[in-house]
Amino acid sequence: MVTISSLDVFIQVIINGTLYGCIYGLAAIGLSLIFGSMQIIFIAQGAMMVLASYFTYWFFTLTSIDPLLCFILLLPVFYALGAIIYRVCFKRVARAGKNPTLLLAFGIMVLFERAMALLWSPDTRSVTTDYTTMSLSLGNINISYIRLLVFVIGIAATIIVFLFLKKTMWGKAVRGSSEDPHAAALLGISPVKVATLTFAIGISLAGVAGVAVAMSYPFDPYFGFIFSLKALVAVAIGGMGSVGGAFIGGVLLGLFESLGSYLISSGWADAISYAIFLIVLIFFPEGLFGRSAKKV
Amino acid sequence: MANEEVLRLENISKSFGGVKALNNVSLSLAKKKIVGLIGPNGAGKSTLFNVVTSFYKPDQGRVFLEGRCITGVTPYKICRKGIGRTFQLVKTFTSMTAYENVVVGALYGHKLRGKDAQKSAMEALELVDLADKKDVVTSHMTLSDRRLLEVARALASMPIVVLLDEPMAGLNPTEIVKMLQIINRAREERDMGILWVEHKVDAVFHLCDHVAVLDYGVKIAEDTPENVAHDTKVIEAYLGKEAVKR
Amino acid sequence: MEKKLLSVENVNVFYGDAQAIWDVSFHVNQGAIVALIGANGAGKSTALNMISGFNPPATGRILYEGKSLNNLPPEEIVNRGISHVPEGRRLFKRLTVLENLELGAFNSTDSRKRMKQSLEEVFRLFPKLEDRINQPAGTLSGGEQQILAIGRAMMSQPKLLMLDEPSLGLAPQIVELMFDIITQLREKGITILLVEQNVYQTLRISDYAYVLQTGHLKMEGRGEELLADPDFQKTFLGMVY
Amino acid sequence: MSKQPFLSGKKGVLGVILLIIFLSALPIVLEAEESYFIYFLYISFIYITVAQGWNLVAGYAGQVSLGQHAFFGIGAYVTAMSWDAGLTGYLDPVAMFSSGAIAALLAVIIGLPLLGKLRDDYFALGTLGFAEILRVVFIQGKDITGGPIGIMLPSGRYAGMTPYYYISLGIAVLTLVCIWFLIRSRFGLGFVAIREDEQAAEANGIPLLRSKILAFSIGAFFTGLCGSLTAYYSFHIHPGGVFTLTWGLLPLLMTILGGIGTFWGPVIGAVLLAGVFELANMWMPELHTLISGLFIVLVTMFMPNGVVSLVKGGDGPPFLYRIGPFRSLFGQSNTGRVSDGAYENGAENTIQR
């Protein structure tokens, strides 16, 4: 009996890890897109997520709009936010090289975090809907509907971004431009337009991830930074600039962490993911999936 | 003394992803001599330089400096052992003055200290006629001056061998003449050999004692400039087959 | 008198503070192959980058079909009908052959019909490409990549095609093929501005050539005239001895 | 064009000496225990030191570290733990020096893989990851580190503001003097060469890894010293306090604000930002935290070369001017322009439009 129940726990740990990893994956896709085409490490991605979480919270408590609806409501808002951030801030710094863009992203992160702390107080918030506690039971294993939903949305977002990049002209332009911006410009593809589009999509994905966070975890204004780091870890695992790789990287990271907390201790989860990050950075600079994953 | 060998390359091969950038290339350079290395774009000239300075590790073959094998030694030690170089795309330290650039070569390239380093740097600057611009910040210098500065920086490390990677690229005719004078002066004043990659064939022929021709990573000729100029294989590589048939 | 499609008048071009082109004028007649030749650093590629809007001239004029191109953004210049095949091909190696071609028609995607038409035209010119449409461009051989680069530039249905060193790094037989392709394109009515280091073959196929040396226009003339000129042989081929 | 606005020649040295004397005399004139200004200077000196430490690595050697809080934290913990264990005492110079030294040692150990293998952004993220790991290690350190609660030190030993003021002044002066001579030595020249062009630096005989580690560990040493003093000041050391990203972020902010890669940039940035923080804290405590974020954004957008670049009169070369000891022989320097236009903005810019 003991062995069976511990097997159940083990499976539960794996499922939770996978689902948790989906949120990392979502944030990582956006980060990976932005990095792939502009070489900008947008460390404020997590702050953008938390902003979406606050919007969700706000809508829910003030107008009792269902968080599910926020997925759709917030998309245009974050799309525009991304475009504005690129046009106003990054466009003029992009030429200055990598370090200034990283610093600028840092500044934006701090600015947003502090602004949120000011507007909504630094207290921890959470969104509790009627279905928050409902879960699907399979024998001894419980999967919360919300986590399942996040999983589905994660997969769906990955597929949509994937299809966009594969099938649409603009998607192809983004891919081409990230490989050789000069050649793309020679064909009449404006680098600024492509960059704006990429940024807007990247931030939209952060918005989606943020709604998912609001529905499944308590959050505070400073909660995002850890997500930025985790998303970066995911991107590093999956190989910089690879959309599919970033998502899989996120899921793997979720799994590692969840297994790490189960097998060692939950306090070490963060250290484990950073250690993985360092190891991947140093020994697999192309990411775990190497070149083949880089194709998309 | 005249034929004292300073640099010898033995059967160097180097491939990048299946493409042989260098195929079994051997070369020898003596003190006070200039060997020109010519060949069409992509013939492997720059790859050869990067192998000699250890930025690339050869798949095969060895590099000897004054008879000692230096293959696989880290680049900074290569410089300290006596190989100085310039780059095809000028790589000066842009926020430093001309003098500071050159003193780097003396301090680090030959581990000179204090007054010795100053003296070596100033001598090198004087040799390339840049002494009067020693305090000009490099980012404000013309391309020609920056190319000369790179030569001076290499000379300040008291090299036994200097590799010049297309020192004429982007210079106008007057500047080319000046560069030629300075390369010649460097040869006469210093006890060293010069290996010189160049696209401007006439310039190379003007000064070199020997010219080696690379084509698709293979050394297709090595001889005096006169003989190389009339070598059908060389003409073919440069002008295409048709020109020869004509 | 033939019609001038492109004329460049007394341009001076800078790379940062280094002047790359000094008071150069040349023109390209409708339907001709015109070559710019010269050694590395002579300013040939700079001239093409100037025309395609990446490095506009500090002074002087560029006229195309009688209208000024000065200070137009690169995408607008593509729209006017000038395509630039850059040195080193610069394909999107991770994208497929088809995707590369499609991006060539990026600015004319408003009509699917036109895209299809362009594709058919390119496949008619280069049937080999059609067999490989789903292959990543990076897996093609050097010659195929060059053909794809030309095909990609043809997708915008240009009137003027600028080719920067199309024979660079190709094996000798492929080089011949490349020059055949260029003559073929001319027969299709496309005007060609060719930058090359492969002097003999370039002069053989071109109607007129300009020789650049360190940013200055050194001489000009018809191919055979230049080849016969001892001065040309001396200064350009560098075989002084 | 003013070339060297500060400390040019004997007058400058004299000015700095007078300033130090003035600062030393301040606690006598002002009531040290009550004066807010003394506290302000104390915190400014710490900021100056930490910023200058980061500037050496990032500004001169070009290796942007985002993990300076690791060294700050280590410095604080070494001091706290050794005092707690009775090995050292209150405001013990040996403890302070050891704290710095251990931080420097740590920098060497992690510098080997990080500086050896990673470049640019990757190095920045690597240091960030390392610092975060260290924080978790100290949270999880159980009895050895005191866990998340940390270590309580005997606060009854507090000896008043004056010793802190002098020690922090001493550390800042020490840092500035060390770095002043360092960047004028061949080491400083090597750092700048590496920043400008790694390949050319290597081809001219500069050992890349060794030089980078040197800069990294010297920066860590001074940061560790500040951590140590902070441990003595706050009497309560916990991971959330000393391993906080703030200590990684502040030096970066101040240095960039003042002028990265310049000697006086971090000093000006540190004092300026400390002033802004303190004033904002007094007048509009709510908005104070927002301002730092806004500062980074605006500064990186509009003044990538920092305040110092303004003082220097526009677009002159923002970095190292000349190498002191070598310069004297050849008389005064001249940075006159040879031609107009910035060469660096050549080809890339035309593509970006």
Instruction: Render pLDDT for C106-145 as a digit per residue (tens, 0 to 9).
Output: 877 667 788 888 999 999 989 989 989 999 998 888 888 9
Task: Return mean pLDDT, chain C.
Answer: 87
* Other Cβ atoms within 10 Å of D315 Cβ, number: 10
Lookup: tokens for C213: 């040396």
Chain C: partners with 3+ C-beta pairs within 8 Å: A, B, D
Residue labelled with tokens 């990446």? C54
Q: H or E element: which one contains C4?
A: strand C4-15
Among the ranges A11-20, A238-247, D264-273, D316-325, which has the highest mean pLDDT value? Answer: D264-273
Going by pLDDT thresholds of 50, 70 and 90, the confidence category of residue C26 is: very high
Burial class (CB in 10 A: 0-12, 13-18, 19+), B179: buried
- 8 A C-beta contact, residue C154 and residue C180: no
Instruction: Give the closest of B41, B201, B242 to C201, CB-based.
Output: B242
* Other Cβ atoms within 10 Å of D68 Cβ, number: 33
CA distance A179 to chain C (A): 6
Q: Of A193-207, B63-77, D136-150, D227-241, give the lowest mean pLDDT range.
A: D136-150
Going by pLDDT thresholds of 50, 70 and 90, the confidence category of residue A195 is: very high
B206: contact with C, CB 8 A cutoff: yes
CB contact under 8 A, A176 and C99: yes
* CB environment B205-217: b (16+ within 10 A), e (fewer): bbbbbbbbbbbbb
* D350 or C170: which leads in pLDDT: C170
- 8 A C-beta contact, residue A94 and residue A194: no
Range of the domain at C197: 1-81+159-241
Q: What is the pLDDT of residue A296?
A: 30
Q: H or E element: which one contains C10?
A: strand C4-15
Residue-wise pLDDT for A137-168, tens only, equals 877 777 788 888 888 888 898 899 999 999 99
> D201: which chain B residues are within 8 Å (Cβ-Cβ)?
93, 104
DSSP per position, C206-224: -SEEEEEETTEEEEEE-HH
Q: What is the pLDDT of residue A4?
A: 55
> For chain A, what are the domain ranges?
29-224
Q: Which of C113, C135, C157 is the last residue of a domain?
A: C157
Q: Of A190-199, B188-197, C163-172, C231-240, give the lowest mean pLDDT range.
A: C231-240
Please report the beta strands in B88-170, taking only residues with DSSP state E, as ranges in sequence order: 161-165
Measured on CA atoms in the order C71, C77, C82, C83, is the torsion positive or negative?
A: positive
Share of chain B above pLDDT 90, in %: 57
- 8 A C-beta contact, residue B109 and residue B158: yes
CB contact under 8 A, C18 and B142: yes
| C76 and C169 co-located in one domain | yes
Q: Which residues contact A100 (CB under 8 A, 6 or more apart)?
A: A93, D300, D304
Residue B224, domain CATH:
3.40.50.300
pLDDT exceeds 50 at position A266 = yes
| C124 and C234 co-located in one domain | no
- 8 A C-beta contact, residue C121 and residue C130: no
Q: Which residues contact B229 (CB under 8 A, 6 or more apart)?
A: B205, C239, C240, C241
Going by pLDDT thresholds of 50, 70 and 90, the confidence category of residue A98 is: low
CB contact under 8 A, D301 and A94: no
Going by pLDDT thresholds of 50, 70 and 90, the confidence category of residue B9 is: very high
Give chain B's contact residues with D (Cβ, < 8 Å): 53, 55, 74-77, 79-80, 84-85, 87, 91-97, 99-100, 103-105, 107-111, 117-118, 122, 133-137, 139-142, 145, 153-154, 157
| C74 and C105 co-located in one domain | no
Residue A12 CA to residue A9 CA, distance in Å, equals: 5
Residue B13's beta-bridge partner residues? B60
| B59 and B118 co-located in one domain | no
Going by pLDDT thresholds of 50, 70 and 90, the confidence category of residue D332 is: very low
D348: contact with C, CB 8 A cutoff: no
Instruction: Give the closest of D339, D342, D350 to C54, CB-based.
Output: D350
**Closest C-alpha to D104, from D53, D59, D139:** D53
Residue C44 CA to residue B102 CA, distance in Å, equals: 33
| C183 and C151 co-located in one domain | no
**Count of C-D CB contacts under 8 Å:** 23
CB contact under 8 A, D300 and A41: no
- 8 A C-beta contact, residue B40 and residue B65: no
Q: What is the pLDDT of residue A265?
A: 78
pLDDT exceeds 80 at position C153 = yes
CB contact under 8 A, A89 and D351: no
The whole-number average pLDDT for the span D150-163 is 86
A185: contact with C, CB 8 A cutoff: yes
B68 phi, psi to nearest 5 deg: -100, 135
| C152 and C172 co-located in one domain | no
Residue labelled with tokens 């236009």? D341
Among the ranges A284-293, C63-72, D42-51, D156-165, which has the highest mean pLDDT value? Answer: D42-51
* D101 or A91: which leads in pLDDT: D101
Q: At what angle do helices D265-283 and D36-54 cross, to 10 degrees?
A: 140
D201: contact with B, CB 8 A cutoff: yes
Q: Of A235-249, B71-85, D37-51, give the lowest mean pLDDT range.
A: A235-249
Lookup: tokens for D324: 């002191």
Residue-wise pLDDT for D42-51, tens only, equals 999 999 999 9
Long-range contacts of A146-151 (CB under 8 A, 24+ apart): A146/A215, A146/A216, A147/A16, A147/A19, A147/A20, A147/A216, A148/A19, A149/A68, A149/A215, A150/A19, A150/A22, A150/A23, A150/A212, A150/A215, A150/A216, A151/A18, A151/A19, A151/A22
**Closest C-alpha to D20, from D176, D222, D193:** D176
Lookup: tokens for A280: 């991947």
Going by pLDDT thresholds of 50, 70 and 90, the confidence category of residue C237 is: low
| B111 and B217 co-located in one domain | no
Share of chain D above pLDDT 70, in %: 83
In a domain, B24, yes or no: yes
Task: Return mean pLDDT, chain B.
Answer: 87
C230: contact with D, CB 8 A cutoff: no
Give chain C's contact residues with A (Cβ, < 8 Å): 52, 54, 73-75, 78-79, 84, 86, 90-95, 99-100, 102-104, 106-107, 109, 136, 152-153, 156
Q: What is the pLDDT of residue D330?
A: 30
| C96 and C200 co-located in one domain | no
Q: Which residues contact D312 (CB under 8 A, 6 or more apart)?
A: D2, D3, D5, D318
Q: Which residues contact A220 (CB under 8 A, 6 or more apart)?
A: A50, A122, A123, A124, A125
Q: What is the pLDDT of residue D76?
A: 96
Lookup: tokens for B40: 């069409």
pLDDT exceeds 50 at position D323 = no
CA A103 to chain centre: 20
- In chain C, the residue whose alpha carbon lies closest to the alpha carbon of A180 is C92
Residue A268 CA to residue C50 CA, distance in Å, equals: 58
pLDDT exceeds 70 at position D9 = no
Q: Under CATH, which number does the domain D9-345 receive? A: 1.10.3470
Q: Give CA torsion, residues B83, B87, B88, B89, to 10 deg.
A: 180
Q: Of C18-22, D227-231, D325-329, give the lowest mean pLDDT range.
A: D325-329
| C7 and C104 co-located in one domain | no
CA distances from D159 to A23, A223, B47, D224 (A): 51, 39, 66, 22
CA distances from D100 to A236, B32, D226 (A): 32, 52, 8
Q: Which of D68, D296, D350, D353 to mutate to test binding with chain A, by most A CBs within 10 Å of its CB?
A: D296
> C55: which chain D residues are within 8 Å (Cβ-Cβ)?
347, 350
Range of the domain at B134: 92-158
Share of chain C above pLDDT 90, in %: 49
Residue A110 CA to residue A103 CA, distance in Å, equals: 11
Going by pLDDT thresholds of 50, 70 and 90, the confidence category of residue A36 is: confident
pLDDT exceeds 50 at position A135 = yes
Structural domain tally of chain B? 2
Structural domain tally of chain C? 2
| C175 and C61 co-located in one domain | yes
Q: Which of D57, D130, D136 to mutate to test binding with chain A, by most A CBs within 10 Å of its CB?
A: D136
D344: contact with C, CB 8 A cutoff: yes
**Closest C-alpha to B146, from D343, D350, C58, D203:** D343
- 8 A C-beta contact, residue C160 and residue C83: yes
Going by pLDDT thresholds of 50, 70 and 90, the confidence category of residue B84 is: very high
Residue-wise pLDDT for C156-210, tens only, equals 999 999 999 898 777 667 888 899 999 999 999 999 999 987 787 888 899 999 9
- 8 A C-beta contact, residue A206 and residue A45: yes
The whole-number average pLDDT for the span A70-87 is 93
CA distances from C162 to B34, C42, C44, C166, C196 (A): 39, 17, 11, 10, 11
Q: Which residues contact A188 (CB under 8 A, 6 or more apart)?
A: C74, C75, C78, C79, C106, C107, C156
pLDDT exceeds 90 at position C236 = no
The whole-number average pLDDT for the span D125-134 is 89
- In chain C, the residue whose alpha carbon lies closest to the alpha carbon of D350 is C54
* D91 or D28: which leads in pLDDT: D91
Residue B105 CA to residue B109 CA, distance in Å, equals: 5
Residue D131 CA to residue D244 CA, distance in Å, equals: 9
pLDDT exceeds 90 at position A260 = no
In a domain, B87, yes or no: no
C22: contact with D, CB 8 A cutoff: no
Q: Which of C157, C179, C205 is the last residue of a domain?
A: C157
Q: Which of A164, A187, A292 to mutate to test binding with chain C, by most C CBs within 10 Å of its CB?
A: A187
Q: H or E element: which one contains D227?
A: helix D208-234
The whole-number average pLDDT for the span B38-48 is 81
